Structure 1
Amino acid sequence: MQKKSPSLFNLAVIVGALGYFVDVYDLLLFSIVRIPSLKSLGISQEEIDKTDILNIQMIGLLIGGIIWGILGDKKGRLRVLFASIILYSLGSIANGFVHTVGQYAVVRFITGLGLAGELGAGITLVSEIMPREKRGLATSLVAGIGLSGAVFAYFINVAFRSNPEGWRTCYFIGGGLGFLLLLLRVGILESGMYKSIEQSAVRKGDFHLLFTNGRRLKKYLTAILIALPNWYVIGILITFSNKFASIMKVQDPVDPGKGIMVAYAAISIGDVLIGFISQWVKSRKISLWIFHIIAVIGVIWFFLLQGATSTTVYWVCVVLGFGTGFWAMFVTMAAEQFGTNIRATVATTVPNMARGSLALVALLFKSLIPSQGYFKAGWITGIIVFAIAFVSLAITEETYGKELNYIEPL
């Protein structure tokens, strides 16, 4: 009898999607409540501007990405998926109890460690259990549903922001959602591909393997650089959209929080659609080219907003968000390029390295401001970022329909 193909809505896909939903909720919640939460701790605006909690969280993400990725190949995708959910859920709850900046920083670092593991483990698990003809659709659903967690975070904050201590409740909700998610773990099975090598002497989870072979290193670096536009758009253009709007004399005040919310709503839609487009054209690369071009159109429109209304700015944020709605596809392509013995390591480190790239993009942007001015520095940074991403995408191998049941040689 022929084995029944797993459903697109099987439990592993659902848990992966909901896990990423809580992950994104917590990650974006900190950006949303950072200022009011620090003010409630008695910190002045001048001191808030000097705090480096966001970078501390990003360090946690980078370190956690390597740790969880290695463990995902050594101990299994399923164990890492749920261990990471437990850690960031505990971290989210602990965020609600902090009373000093030092405590806040430590807890955000720990939460960052936890947040680093969920997406990579989930995408790897889903990629390995789904048949190749459904793989792109399944991982797109994981990211599409997951990224809507940012929208949920925005509205949860709106519901509680009238209370100076309401940000604590927002964190408690995130932690509670994470622990509720753990109830769904019953019935999820480990990847068969991983089980086939679990007890073998195959070298698993060796991060050094990525750097001992030129071809592997090129694949790894290009997998990361493809996503540079995502963090340029979110971390520079939309996060500082109020500053750009002021320079361009936009008619009404612009709320970056609202810009992030509408952008992430569009990103979640894009992340689902890109799976269907990839399926239709039978190419990961073509679908990524389409979305990168849409993002370029959005960026050009953004810098032509002189004298526009705030409503127009938010519509541009929608276009920018949709154009960068390729998160799932970029992580899926990364996972598909490497063997079972280091696949989780790649799928977990790549998105966290891409997240961490925001620090370098921001450094480039800030270094250009003294000589070029804020506005010009913004579009020059964009040209550089997209040029790097385009070259990386051009030399990346096509992975649509690729057989994943193989081992990466030494």
Structure 2
Amino acid sequence: MQTLSPSPNPVSYRPLFALPVIVSALGFFVDVYDMLIFSIVRVPSLQSLGMTEAEVSQAGTFILNFQQAGLVLGGFLWGILGDKRGRMSVLFGSILTYSLTNIACGFVQDVNTYAFLRFLAGVGLSGEIGAAMVLVAETLPKALRSYGSSVVAGIGYLGAGVAYLTVEYFNWRMAFWVGGGLGLALLLLRVSVFESGLFSRMKVEHREVSRGNLLHFVSSWPQALKYLRFVTLGMPTWFVVGILATFANEFGQALGIADIIKPGRCVMLIYVGLAGGDLLSGPLSQWLRSRIKAITGLLLCSGFLSGIYLFGGINTAEGLYTICLLIGFCTGYIAMYLTMVAESYGTNLRNTATTSVPSVVRGTLIPMTLFFQALKPSVGALVTAGLLGVIVYGLCFWSLSQTEETFGNDLDFVE
């Protein structure tokens, strides 16, 4: 591990600290909008293509898994690019990719084209949050790092709410076009953002250091286990979003709720909750002086509320929507989680780790949905989701118990 030389006159850069936070937050806002838009329009868009209720469930899973596969692949591609060419190269390239692809999604007429375009969108979407969190972590002073990450995630998750409202007032095709247009507009703001100073100095002072080397993460068992622990730490988010919210209409039927449950509304409420939780997680982490303690407290509440969602006897639509909001709030630890990832790796590997880890986490939704669809016919939706939740939260808490605290870590080093 080698340390980078300190940046000259850091005080003179303080007026610029807010700019990367604001632009990163807006970028994540558009990213969340475009990533969640399919979950929100899944039912109406597939019904408009002439599908029955049973076909909607199967085709929706098929398309969602294609999107998640794109997220996994893109996470590695953008992660490596960000460590080799810079954080800003990712923030420009990723938003251009997913914006154009989402515009194209508004013109689909068949499932296979829909799935292919969601795959391409997934590739583009995977670069945004990791590069944004790394840029903010490397730009802000240590004392402000938690707050900056919380603002990025807190504002960003509100993109789901705007996506839902867009669908409420316009049709699903227009919702895709709006998301793509927002992304293209944001490109203009990114012109004013500077590259990370730590990355720029690393290129000069440590030219011989390997950057964005994927083999590092599997170079030894401890390194592989460290990476896998970070992956399992993020899985509860996609259990909540990808299972509890996306298939909420099926859970509503299993619970005997008379009203039709709108999965899109559940997704929106969970993400509004995530925004609130992430805005809290930064100050909470500072107060506790611990990333792990803040994350553990939120996840305990998230697991408990997920159990209430499935087995608490909820019998009204409003009751289910309310519990979605609460679950989202208690699962709002992603800002601190990604900050932990960034704080755990050197500047030459930081973007690869922080971008690929959440993308692999999103990819774990593929086995989750396959598990859900395979076991559901024999034991029912509620029991299947309950068993899956035990596995997901169990792995997460085990990983937390094995992960080193990163609060206050310096980031000026390479590996």
TM tier, shorter chain?
Answer: over 0.9
Q: Which residue of 2 aligns with 1:243?
A: 250
Q: Which residue of 2 aligns with 1:174?
A: 179
User: How far does the alpha carbon of each residue in 1:241-297 deviate from its partner, in whole angstroms, 9 at most, with x for none?
Assistant: 332232233354322221211111111110111011001111000000111011022
Structure 1 residues 42 and 383: CA distance shift in structure 2, 3 A? closer
2: CA distance, partners of 1:371 / 1:158: 35
2: CA distance, partners of 1:227 / 1:242: 24
Structure 1 residues 179 and 357: CA distance shift in structure 2, 3 A? same
User: How far does the alpha carbon of each residue in 1:182-211 deviate from its partner, in whole angstroms, 9 at most, with x for none?
Assistant: 111233111111111224121000111100
Q: Which residue of 2 aligns with 1:298?
A: 305
1:65 paired to 2:75: yes
Q: Which residue of 2 aligns with 1:399?
A: 406
Checking the alignment, whether the CA contact within 8 Å between 1:251 and 1:307 is kept in structure 2 is no
State the AA in 2 paired with 1:36.
Answer: P
State the AA in 1 paired with 2:342.
Answer: A
Any residues of structure 2 matched to 1:133-282 within 5 Å, and which? 133-160=143-170, 166-199=171-204, 200-282=207-289
1: CA distance, partners of 2:354 / 2:180: 24
1: CA distance, partners of 2:16 / 2:308: 36
Checking the alignment, whether the CA contact within 8 Å between 2:40 and 2:267 is kept in structure 1 is no
2: CA distance, partners of 1:109 / 1:102: 11
1:24 paired to 2:29: no
Structure 1 residues 129 and 248: CA distance shift in structure 2, 3 A? same
User: How far does the alpha carbon of each residue in 1:283-324 deviate from its partner, in whole angstroms, 9 at most, with x for none?
Assistant: 000000111011022123213432532211111111111111
Identity of aligned residues (%): 43
Q: Which residue of 2 aligns with 1:84?
A: 94
Any residues of structure 2 matched to 1:111-126 within 5 Å, and which? 111-126=121-136
Q: Which residue of 2 aligns with 1:310?
A: 317
Match of 1:342 among 336, 349, 354: 349
Farther-moved stretch of structure 1 (98-107 vs 346-355): 98-107
2:364 is paired with a residue whose SS is: helix
Gaps of 5+ in 2: 1-8
Match of 2:292 among 256, 269, 285: 285
2: CA distance, partners of 1:35 / 1:303: 22
1:325 is paired with a residue whose SS is: coil
Structure 1 residues 38 and 237: CA distance shift in structure 2, 3 A? closer
TM-score, length-normalised on structure 1? 0.93
2:126 is paired with a residue whose SS is: helix
Q: Which residue of 2 aligns with 1:95?
A: 105
Checking the alignment, whether the CA contact within 8 Å between 2:90 and 2:127 is kept in structure 1 is yes
Q: Which residue of 1 aligns with 2:41?
A: 33
1:135 is paired with a residue whose SS is: helix
Checking the alignment, whether the CA contact within 8 Å between 2:72 and 2:126 is kept in structure 1 is yes
User: How far does the alpha carbon of each residue in 1:200-234 deviate from its partner, in whole angstroms, 9 at most, with x for none?
Assistant: 12100011110002222222111110111111122
CA RMSD of the aligned region, Å? Answer: 1.9
1:14 paired to 2:18: no
2: CA distance, partners of 1:222 / 1:279: 23
1: CA distance, partners of 2:186 / 2:265: 28
Structure 1 residues 56 and 294: CA distance shift in structure 2, 3 A? same
Checking the alignment, whether the CA contact within 8 Å between 1:85 and 1:118 is kept in structure 2 is yes
Match of 2:331 among 324, 331, 334: 324
Gaps of 5+ in 1: 161-165
The alpha-carbon deviation at position 172 of structure 1 amounts to 1.5
